[in-house]
Copies of this chain bind each other. A is one copy, B any other.
Amino acid sequence: MTIEAVKVYQDLKGENDRWSVEIRRLLAGPRLLMLNLIGSPGSGKTALLEATAPAMGDGTRMAVLEGDVATTRDAERIRALGVPASQLLSGGACHLEARLVHAALADLPLAELDAVFVENVGNMVCPAEFDIGEHAKVAVLSVAEGEDKPLKYPLLFQEAQAVVVTKTDLAAVLGTDMAALRGHLEAVHGGIPVFELSARTGEGLEPWLDWVRARVKALRG
């Protein structure tokens, strides 16, 4: 990158970070948890939310902001469950910008919610670089993607405060080496909580739900 390009990248990040501050202000009043789900296209982010919403129970009232380059398919999937969902279209951009998230949050009944899940644009690289005012980034990785992804895309796994490994019901047929995957995650971010689950069968969902519930409770005090 040229020096000028670096400077404007920093300007873009600065603009983004100013909106992140505004988002934190919006969330602080109602003590609302916001999680930023980041993973490749097809890693199973929407399916994770579809499994999470009904299982969370009435104790945790949730809403979803669905980020995509194009289409409103994911928001429709979530709304079909009776969960408030807004679709954020990035208009070709490879990540969600905080300004867009702020505008969508302002449309939600924040005082009536406990947790907002943001599903970022399907991409392991760029969304990891942008703060959108979330309390935690959560990396979502399917067993179909290969064990080496934490090594090859380290920033996401370093920035994340938890990893959800999805589609574990397919690990045997895909021949995924789960021990190698766990080892790579530990090498990139020692001690990070890893939730291995299948959204399709529901197996392994409970520890992930408990982690979310504990984060909500920590905010409420």
Contact status of A125 and B69, CB under 8 A, knowing A40-B42, A149-B41, A174-B170? yes
Contact status of A152 and B8, CB under 8 A, knowing A42-B40, A125-B126, A170-B174? no
A152 touching B41 by the CB < 8 A rule? yes
Bound complex: CA A9 to CA B1 (Å): 11
B142 touching A123 by the CB < 8 A rule? no
Does A121 lie at the interface of the complex (its beta carbon under 8 Å from any beta carbon of B)? Answer: yes
Does A4 lie at the interface of the complex (its beta carbon under 8 Å from any beta carbon of B)? Answer: yes
* 24 pairs of residues in contact across A and B, judged by CB atoms under 8 Å: A2-B15, A4-B8, A4-B11, A5-B12, A5-B15, A7-B8, A40-B41, A40-B145, A41-B124, A41-B146, A41-B152, A42-B144, A70-B151, A71-B148, A71-B151, A73-B148, A92-B155, A122-B153, A123-B124, A123-B125, A125-B126, A144-B144, A144-B170, A170-B174
A153 touching B40 by the CB < 8 A rule? no
Does A173 lie at the interface of the complex (its beta carbon under 8 Å from any beta carbon of B)? Answer: yes
A residues apposed to B, CB below 8 Å: 1-2, 4-5, 7-9, 11-12, 15, 40-42, 68-71, 73, 92-94, 121-126, 129, 142, 144-146, 148-149, 151-155, 167, 170, 173-174
